[in-house]
Structure 1
Amino acid sequence: MKTLTQRLLAATPLALIAACGSTPPSGSASNGEPMVYASSARSASSIANCLENRLPHVHASRDGNTTELSVGSRSDASYLVTLTPNGNGSVIRVTRGTSASNDPPEEELRFDIARCTV
């Protein structure tokens, strides 16, 4: 029970950050700054499976231990989600893709990330 409580307390800031919608600063899509950068106690594969079930048009690829999900078209993704395992779970990094599309809307993406990482 103590472990569950610790996980919930650790995940609370992530849920609050990921659930908040925001307008990106101008130029953030081109310079690769993360929209979301957080850690989770869940494994990268668990988060990837959850996001694949919640988001439309998700394409997964692996590079060693890192999993990258492109959301949107394979050649013109709206968002790139990078999941990297760490000692106690995963690090989640989300950046804007090359697409000018906002599909799914950023708020929906943040909500789904929050749901899948807690």
Structure 2
Amino acid sequence: MKRLILLAPLAVLAACGSSRGPESSASAEPMVYASSARPASEIARCLDSRLSRVHVSKNNGVTDLTIGSSSNSSYFISLTPSGHGSVIKVVRGTGDDPPEEELRFAIARCTT
């Protein structure tokens, strides 16, 4: 019983912690998870040409795209190279520009 009482404050503190941005979104449930035969660089270029406010970065071979304003991103897209193309993971952010339908259409056009 004493252990439980001693651990309760730690559990409360752990529950209160939060993080923001792509790091927290990377572990969120993806709204799109697919694979494509196209390379990540080609998909990134295509999405950049079809959507506005696309910010591209690379980290350990993974191409990360942030869609929307830098302070209120709408979507986080990870393009991970695979043996036969790329794996696409999309997580929703806090913004709503572009609308989800427009994003899904762009992804469909750029990954086939």
TM-score where L is the length of structure 1: 0.71
Paired with 2:96 and 2:71, the residues of 1 have a C-alpha distance of 15
Q: Which residue of 1 aligns with 2:92?
A: 96
* % same residue: 61
TM-score where L is the length of structure 2: 0.74
Structure 2 residue matching 1:104: 3-state secondary structure: coil
Using CA pairs under 8 Å that are at least 6 residues apart, name the structure with larger relative contact order, 1 or 2. 1
Question: Which consecutive unaligned segments of at least 5 residues does structure 1 have?
Answer: 1-28
Q: Which residue of 2 aligns with 1:7?
A: none
Paired with 1:78 and 1:102, the residues of 2 have a C-alpha distance of 5
Shift, 1:75, TM fit: 2.6
Which residue identity is paired with 2:30?
P
Q: Which runs of 4+ in 1 moved over 4 A?
A: none
Shift, 1:73, TM fit: 1.0
Paired residues in the alignment total: 87
Q: Which has the larger radius of gyration?
A: 2
Are 1:52 and 2:48 an aligned pair? yes
Q: Which residue of 2 aligns with 1:67?
A: 63
Are 1:113 and 2:83 an aligned pair? no
Which residue identity is paired with 1:51?
L
Paired with 2:36 and 2:81, the residues of 1 have a C-alpha distance of 9
RMSD: 1.3
